[in-house]
Amino acid sequence: MSNIMLLDQETIDKIAAGEVVERPCSVVKELVENAIDAGATAITVEIKDGGISLIRITDNGCGIEREEVPLAFLRHSTSKIRSAEDLMCVHSLGFRGEALSSIAAVSRVELITKTYDALTGTRYLIEGSKEVALEEVGAPDGTTFLVKDLFYNTPARRKFLKSAQTEGTYISDMLEKLALSHPDISFKYINNNQTKLHTSGNGNRKDLIYHIYGRDITAELLEVGYEGEYFQVSGFIGKPSVSRGNRNFENYFINGRYIKSNLIAKAIEEAYRSFLMQHQYPFTVLYFTFEGETVDVNVHPTKMELRFGHNQEIYRELMEALYAVLAHKELIPEVPVTEEKTARIPSVYPEPIPEPFEKRRLNDIQKKVECKTYSSEEESKPEQASVEEPANRYHAPAHPGVHILPAKDLPQGATEQLTLEAMSPDFLTVDARKKHRIIGQLFKTYWLVEYEDKLYIIDQHAAHEKVLYERKMAQLARKEFTSQNISPPIILSLDAKEQEMLLRYQEEISRLGYVIEPFGGREYMISAVPDNLFSIDVKDLFIEMLDDFTNLSGKETPELITERVASMSCKAAVKGNDALSLPEIDALIEELLTLDNPFHCPHGRPTIISMSKYELEKKFKRIV
């Protein structure tokens, strides 16, 4: 057995650094929080190569006294607390006293600092926890940190960092959170000599949200102001029309600190539950004030998680406060009837809402009889409409999944049920088509077709999704990429994560027919889209596609990525509650005939189900 011995200081420092410094973003966070605690009103962050080769942070805070500079780099040295009792009422962002020691253990650090009342500043060099130089220099008031060659002496740690672009995205996202939490501080962020963020520091929270998230989101905000028994909260939440497929837009700050909390997240999402579709998440920028004894900040090494007292009471109060704001009458949309351009309806209803479509279609619906019986044998068939024409709107997405069992009659005495059956392939053959008897449309969503001794029910949206998806994949296989120009172009304001997804998957996006280019800052311009996208909100679709990319593991093949993009591009499918004419449904069924697997939409839902005559007669007790 090996002898027990104390580790040397260098090894201790490197182990401690592993708890605090995970990546360049960790360094920036610790140093910026120190600058905030030092009373800075302007902070500049500059990085190169994702912060791996260089991080420079400059502030106009109070600076560090010359004799205290070496002391600041020792473990557990801090100006934020003096005793264990102080941990119960910490109001500063950094207080453990491990940041500078940990950063210096795994990088080359240069510090230049000057206090307000000093005539000259101090320059301090430390590399791998070893002091190199301490000298007097001319310097402005405040502090500048230069952190170079991160993890130069721990190559194993450096090997596990992600690309420079991804590491830069982490820093950008974190700085946006810090800027939101301190609107009275001017933040400037420079990445590879390009300014990515520059806030005014004027203290106006809504101006800050506008600067970071853009005009469209800022225009859809609801103000929150609540004071209860356990906390105070103010800020803004987005209307239900502002939602994302992940929680990236849920921002909440407690006593000036950006944190993550399952309790707060669940309360927010519960308040939105009846206003948003499943797997959609709201936009929030909320500022909480808790008394010191109500919350424990000394829980997690990065101080990103908190522990609350009175969990149930806090959950209920927050949920009810936000629900009261969301229930405001402003959320009820006013939809003009005669206007050419149909207004977009936010998802604020528990029941499905028909999506907008062409005015010509609306006029057709008004003239149509709701439930008319058609027979391909008894009536002369109208001229068949082509599914390719925009007027027929057969264009949308699909997904794989559920397996449909072969159709078989239930034996006598079997449990009564409506079976989800695959039509024996006969149903969609050319010969079988001549015997179809289209009965009509049910609930403006399902088409009823009689064939031999079965009733077939076709989901028009799922079927159309499948047709469009297969059509798009066939175009990709033939390398036929067609676009339609849009005028005026669509301007998107993307956050750092969305920009990363756009750059990473730009080739696949372009292959489908999108034309998108930078428009300055975080703005991007879409000037062309795939030719099958009409009568849908292209902006929302594109954002949804970028959100979907964040769920990719990074191991998918290019073919799978392209397939997912194609699936997203098929959102123009006819929806439920859209009334279709007989020629249109006939054209849809006709195109289903050509598919290898017409029985599932791309999302895995069935396109067709059937019910046998036997099952119907059993339901009506004709068979006992």
- Structure-token match 């449309």, residue found: 441
pLDDT at 110: 95
Give the residue with greater pLDDT, 236 vs 14. 236
Above 80 in pLDDT, residue 375?
A: no
Whether residue 153 contacts residue 65, with contact meaning beta carbons closer than 8 Å, is answered with no
Q: What's the confidence (pLDDT) of residue 609? A: 83
pLDDT of residue 481: 67
Q: Indicate whether 116 belongs to any domain.
A: yes
Question: How many beta carbons lie within 10 A of that of residue 101, not counting itself?
Answer: 21
Residues 454, 523 within the same domain: no
172 and 500 in contact (C-beta within 8 Å)?
no
**In which band, very low, low, confident or very high, does the pLDDT at 354 lie, cut at 50, 70 and 90?**
very low
Q: What are phi and psi of 567, to 5 degrees?
A: -60, -45
Q: What is the pLDDT of residues 221-262, one digit of tens each?
A: 999 999 988 889 999 999 888 888 888 899 999 888 888 888
- Boundary (domain end) residue, out of 150, 170, 198: 198
The answer to whether position 342 is within a domain reads no
Let me know whether 582 and 549 are in one domain: no
**pLDDT greater at residue 144 or residue 385:** 144
Q: Over range 271-283, report the average pLDDT.
A: 83
> b/e string for 140-149 if b means 16 or more Cβ within 10 A?
ebbbbbbbbe
Residues 6+ positions from 141 with CB-CB distance below 8 Å: 60, 63, 114, 115, 116
pLDDT of residue 182: 94
User: Is 90 exceeded by the pLDDT of residue 19?
Assistant: no
* Residue 354, in any domain of the structure: no
Of residues 606 and 70, more confidence is placed in 70
**What are the backbone angles phi and psi of residue 321, rounded to the nearest 5°?**
-65, -45
Same domain, 31 and 140: yes
Highest mean pLDDT among 131-135, 474-478, 504-508: 131-135
Kindly give, in sequence order, each residue whose CB lies less than 8 Å from that of residue 411, ignoring residues fewer than 6 positions away.
Answer: none
- 113 pLDDT band (50/70/90 cuts)? very high
pLDDT at 379: 38
Is residue 41, in this structure, part of any structural domain at all? yes
CATH number for the domain that contains residue 587 = 3.30.1540.20
Q: For the chain, what percent of residues have pLDDT higher than 90?
A: 27
Does residue 381 have a pLDDT over 50? no
188 and 212 inside one domain? no
Q: List the one residue out of 194, 143, 154, 172 whose CA is nearest residue 37.
A: 143
**pLDDT for position 446:** 86
Q: Among 189, 228, 231, which residue's Cα sits nearest to residue 212?
A: 189
- The distance between the two most distant Cα atoms of the chain, rounded to a whole number of Å, is 102
Residue 112 CA to residue 137 CA, distance in Å, equals 8
Task: Tell whether 120 and 38 lie within a shared domain.
Answer: yes
Separation CA 200–CA 61 (nearest Å): 17
Identity of the residue numbered 328 = H
Please give the pLDDT value at position 59: 95
Residues 6+ apart with CB under 8 A from 330: 222, 239
Taking 60 as the threshold, does the pLDDT of residue 535 lie above it?
no
> Can you tell me which residue has the tokens 């391909």?
376
pLDDT of 339 above 80: no
In terms of C-beta density within 10 A (0-12 exposed, 13-18 middle, 19 or more buried), how is residue 520 classed?
exposed
Indicate the range of 66-75, 193-202, 543-552 predicted with least confidence: 543-552
Q: How confident is the model at residue 126 (pLDDT cuts 50, 70, 90)?
A: very high
- For the chain, give the mean pLDDT: 75
**pLDDT value of position 63:** 92
Tokens 């009275």, residue located: 184
Record the tokens describing residue 76, joined without a space: 């557990």
Domain that holds residue 325: 205-330
Structural domain contains residue 267: yes
Categorize the per-residue pLDDT at 185 as very low, low, confident or very high, splitting at 50, 70 and 90: very high
The answer, yes or no, to whether residue 365 has pLDDT greater than 70, is no
Number of domains in the chain: 4
Same domain, residue pair 426 and 526: no
Look-up: residue for tokens 């397939």?
A: 563
Instruction: Please give the residue that has the higher pLDDT: either 111 or 344.
Output: 111
User: pLDDT band at 352, cuts 50/70/90?
Assistant: very low
Flag whether pLDDT at 370 surpasses 60. no
Query: Given pLDDT bands bounded at 50, 70 and 90, which one contains residue 534?
Result: low
Average pLDDT over residues 590-602: 75
Identify whether residues 33 and 159 lie together within a single domain: yes
109 and 178 co-located in one domain = yes
Neighbours of 92 (CB within 10 A): 19
Where is the domain boundary, 159, 181, 198? 198
User: Is 340 part of a structural domain of the chain?
Assistant: no
Same domain, 563 and 585: no
Higher per-residue pLDDT: 384 or 320? 320
Give me the pLDDT at residue 81, please.
45
| CA-closest candidate to residue 213, choices 177, 240, 166 | 177
Query: Do the beta carbons of residue 54 and residue 148 sit within 8 Å?
Result: yes
* Residue that is written with structure tokens 């101090």 in the block: 122
Q: Give me the DSSP letters along 522-585.
A: TEEEEEEEETT--SS-HHHHHHHHHHHHTT--S---HHHHHHHHHHHTTTTSPPTT----HHHH
pLDDT of 494 reads 86
Give the pair of three-digit tokens for residue 260: 């993550």
pLDDT band at 24 (very low <50, low <70, confident <90, very high): very high
Instruction: Please check whether residue 63 lies inside any domain of the structure.
Output: yes
Find tokens 């200081």 and name the residue: 9
Average confidence (pLDDT) over 137-162:
91
* Burial class of 439 by CB neighbour count within 10 A (0 to 12, 13 to 18, 19+): middle
Residues 70 and 185 in one domain: yes
- What CATH number did the domain enclosing 243 receive? 3.30.230.10
pLDDT of residue 9: 65
Is residue 366 in some structural domain? no
Predicted local distance difference test score (pLDDT) of residue 255: 85
Least confident of 78-92, 189-203, 518-532, 585-599: 78-92
Beta-bridge partner residues of 254 = 257, 288
pLDDT over 90 at 571, yes or no: no
| CATH number for 551 | 3.30.1370.100
Give yes or no for a contact between 579 and 365, defined as CB atoms under 8 angstroms apart: yes
Say whether pLDDT at 597 is over 60. yes
In this prediction, residue 252 carries a pLDDT of 92
Mean pLDDT of the 102-122 span = 93
Burial annotation 209-246 (CB, 10 A radius, 16+ → b, else e): bbbbbbeebbebbbebebeeebbebebbbbbbbbbbbe
User: What are residue 133's DSSP bridge partners?
Assistant: 125
Q: Are 469 and 398 in contact (CB under 8 A)?
A: yes
Residue ending a domain, choose from 296, 311, 330: 330
Please name every residue paired with 246 in a beta bridge, in sequence order, or none if there are none. none
pLDDT greater than 70 at residue 85: no
Are 277 and 400 found together in one domain?
no
Whole-number pLDDT of residue 191: 94
Same structural domain, 230 and 326 = yes
CA distances from 153 to 37, 135, 158, 331 (A): 30, 25, 9, 56
Size of the chain in residues: 624
As a whole number, mean pLDDT of residues 505-519 equals: 84
For residue 530, cis peptide bond before it (omega within 30 degrees of 0): no
